Amino acid sequence: MPLGTAQPEQTVCVSNVPRSASGAPDPKLLGHHLGDRMNRTLAHTLYRLALTVLLSVVGVSLTWAQAPTGPQSGGQPQQTPPPGQNPPQQQPKPQEGGLSIAVEVPVVTMDVVAATQHGDIITGLKRENFKLFEDGVPQTITTFGPSDAPITMVVLMEFSARYGGYFSYVAKYWTEALFPQLKKDDWVALVTFDMKPKLEVDFTQNKDEVRQAVYHLYFPGFSESNVFDAILDTTERLKDVKGKKCILLIATGRDTFSKHTYDQTMKALRQSDVPIFIVGMSKSIQNMRDMRYPMASDIDLLQDENEMKTFAKLSGGFAWFPQFTGEIPGIFQDVAAYLRNQYSLSYSPTNRARDGKFRKVKIDLVSPDGSPFTVTDQKGKKQKYQLYAREGYSAPKGDVD
């Protein structure tokens, strides 16, 4: 046989092979013996093969049982982690030194002007001269100082055809006395209104630009005077302006058909931090009665005047009602003096409730030793004084974050 096809010789043990009586192997018995042996060998082989397959199946099952769980193709939900083993993003960040809670502490700032009964500004006041109460509860003033920042002013001027447009032209020439009172760093804008407010000049430090815009107001368009809407629109636009800001309103005070009512205007001004200084024309209108000019009755004029006074008081401003043009320069001097001699008081309210309610703030003057504050004139005569500040503020509304 070629070397490449050589097979090992198979040897069969016949020591236990059955033999005949002569001692020679019996061919018939030998055939039966070999058949039985082959049957046992085949059975043993099949048994081992079956055992191997069984163990393999069991091994696969054990492997699946130990595999990590996760989303399965049969729509099986992912297993919920055991308690105490939440995912890292759900774990609260540990705080050093124990539990820490962040609390928003509100700060309220009130701008205050003190003046005598004759309108003279009281200067030289210190923190010890002020006592502040919120809803009758004393508060601690945390910051104090004169507010000497540049002025940001909106001149809100009625320019309508009401009363034949006469007082619109009067307002034009009255504003001329304002510009000498403004400093280089002050900002001023011009807004006119009849049916609705109109921005004539945006905030600028160029006072001549505003003056020229006033000069070029020629013909009023409508006879309506929606002063409530004009006030609220301008106040809303100023709410995010920082620093010392105000509205200078020059108007007859008559409102014809604003979208907002008088009560809505008062409510909005109580929540605003924009003081309104008003130069009203009601007394000038009264002076025109003898000329038989069509105008409102005395009762209507008094109502207009009272409304303007209320708006000024609610916002922390002041209202003037001149009868003659000669009074105007002094009035605008007072407006500038009020703004440049404000005291800024800040405090953190003891009432931290975020209920959206209105908190009434009262400010008093006292001597440094706590005794009543007194003001005297040059002759040593006591004078009454008045503090000008907004009446309060509306607390924030909502839960603490």
Q: pLDDT of 153-200, one tens digit each?
A: 999 999 998 877 888 888 888 888 999 999 999 999 999 999 999 999
Going by C-alpha positions, the residue among 118, 153, 184, 147 that lies closest to residue 279 is 153
Residue 240 is assigned to a structural domain of this protein: yes
Bigger pLDDT: 3 or 27?
27
Q: Are residues 233 and 180 in the same domain?
A: yes
Same domain? For 162 and 305 the reply is yes
Is residue 361 located within the same domain as residue 303? Answer: no
Q: How far apart are CA 133 and CA 131, in angstroms?
A: 7
Looking at the structure, tell me whether residues 259 and 273 fall in a common domain: yes
d(CA 38, CA 41): 5
Say whether pLDDT at 126 is over 50. Answer: yes
Q: Is residue 10 situated within a structural domain?
A: no
Mean pLDDT score, 69-87: 40
> 209 with 298, same domain?
yes
Structural domain ending residue among the three candidates 321, 341, 361: 341
Provide the number of structural domains found in the chain: 2
- Res 133: pLDDT: 96
Report if residue 23 sits inside a domain: no
Average pLDDT over residues 360-374: 92
On whether both 235 and 315 belong to a single domain, the answer is yes
Give the pLDDT band (50/70/90) at residue 214: very high
Structure confidence at residue 295 as a pLDDT band (50, 70, 90):
low
Residue 66 forms part of a structural domain? no
Q: Partners of 115 in the beta sheet?
A: 121, 386
Residue where a domain terminates, one of 341, 363, 386: 341
Convert the pLDDT of each residue in 223-273 to its tens digit.
889 999 999 999 999 988 888 899 999 998 989 999 999 999 999 998 888
Whether 134 has a pLDDT exceeding 70, the answer reads yes
pLDDT at 250: 94
Which tens digit of pLDDT belongs to each residue from 24-68?
A: 444 444 444 445 555 555 555 555 655 554 545 444 333 333 434
The predicted pLDDT at position 325 comes to: 84
Q: Look up the domain containing 202 and give its range.
A: 148-341
pLDDT at 105: 64
For 21-59, b/e burial (b = at least 16 CB within 10 A) is: eeeeeeeeeeeebeeeeeeeeeeeeeeeeeeeeeeeeee
In a domain? residue 198: yes
Expressed in angstroms, the distance from the first to the final Cα of the chain is 97
Assigned domain for 379 exists: yes
Residues 160 and 276 in one domain: yes
Q: Per-residue pLDDT averaged across 101-105, rounded? A: 56
**Same domain for 171 and 280?**
yes
**What's the pLDDT at 48?**
60
| % pLDDT > 70, the chain | 70
**One domain, residues 251 and 204:** yes
Q: Are residues 329 and 227 in the same domain?
A: yes
Chain mean pLDDT for the chain: 78
If one compares 219 and 183, the residue with the highest pLDDT of the two is 183
**pLDDT tens digits for 317-356?**
999 999 888 899 999 999 988 888 889 899 999 999 989 8
Q: Are residues 175 and 123 in the same domain?
A: no
Does residue 292 sit in the same domain as residue 179?
yes
Strands laid side by side in the 385-388 sheet: 141-146, 343-347, 108-116, 385-388
